[in-house]
Amino acid sequence: MTTSEAESGAMRRALHLAATPGVPLGPNPRVGCVLLAADGTTVAEGFHRGAGSAHAEVDALASAGEAARGTTAVVTLEPCNHTGRTGPCSEALVAAGVRRVVFAQADPNPVARGGADRLREAGVEVVGGLLADEAGAVNRVWSFAMEHRRPFVTWKFATTLDGRSAAADGTSRWVSSRAARLDTHRLRGLCDTMLVGTNTVEVDDPELTVRDELDDPVPFQPLRAVMGLRELRSDRRVLNDRADTVRLRTREPREALEQLFAMDRQYVFLEGGPTLARAFLAAGLVDEVVAYVAPMLLGAGTSAVADLGITTIADARHLRVTDVHVLTGHDGEDTNVRLTMTPHPPTLSSRRH
């Protein structure tokens, strides 16, 4: 079953609506919907504004009222077939008399999927896959979490040109520039969980909040998660009241992610030290790497990642660079380079380590 030019245009508009500024990145997907009349003109539009609010289809149907009967609903995600805080969108579309539904991305959530089949059973024409890749990009992290049943993990670190995250005496404050630190807070604001180990908390005493004079303050602070068995001193800043904190009493990365996923967390920003980084890398649980590289040399000090057990170049862990960005301060001298990378799947030999 084909789609029309009007439906393609409406899908692009729905994608724009889904990405409306201010709409949370989780825990629900961002979704847009456009209702088209038989002649291809727009009857109504809608989008989802976050957990607990009307879904995009219901938002558009409410705007259309009786005019929704006989329309085509163009929606960025397969209508849900699940009753949660709101009812199933598939049932709402059937009740409103919608004639045809065109959706982009099939719902990867096993709890909510099945809306397309329900619509077809009710006699509604259904077409899926229109601009599916573009729709998947709108909900990159959410889609990953639903498909893999664990949070997406970004490992962030700052390093000198020779791979040192701190000097020999443990000082690390100026490895990254102010511009890089501001950028880090911007990225922190996109995640829902900041994860470190107990050693980082004891040694560095980070607060793990989003701050540092961002132009657009975040509407909420990410959850602070501390992984490990060691008890923490009560004066640690991660335990203050500026954000919620959870203890993950395990040394196993996969178990930690399972606990966070059970809390409806989908995006983990890993900012722990080299030992925690090694554990997640060894477990194959790093999905993205963001490195801030400073134009300086130390020659000694703490490495960005602990020993991975690699003894030959053939077993090196390779990453694919997806973005390179130069961050320069107002004086033109405070410069770091941000590298965004995706780990390649490990080779057979590296899986043995």
Q: How far apart are the first and last CA of the chain?
A: 49
The amino acid occupying position 105 is Q
- Cis preceding linkage at 21, omega within 30: no
Task: Locate the DSSP E strands across the chain.
Answer: 32-36, 42-47, 72-77, 100-105, 125-128, 152-160, 164-166, 193-197, 223-227, 245-248, 267-270, 288-294, 302-303, 319-328, 335-343
Contact 98, 90 (CB under 8 A): no
Helix 56-64 to helix 5-18 angle (10° resolution) is: 110
Residue 200 DSSP SS3? helix
Told to judge if 91 belongs to the known catalytic residues of this protein, a careful annotator would answer no
Choice among 5, 7, 45, 57 that is catalytic: 57
Q: What is the DSSP string of 45-107?
A: EEE--STTSPPHHHHHHHHHGGGGTT-EEEEEEPPP---SSS--HHHHHHHTT--EEEEEEPP
Strands 302-303 and 125-128 come out as unpaired
Annotated catalytic residues are: 57
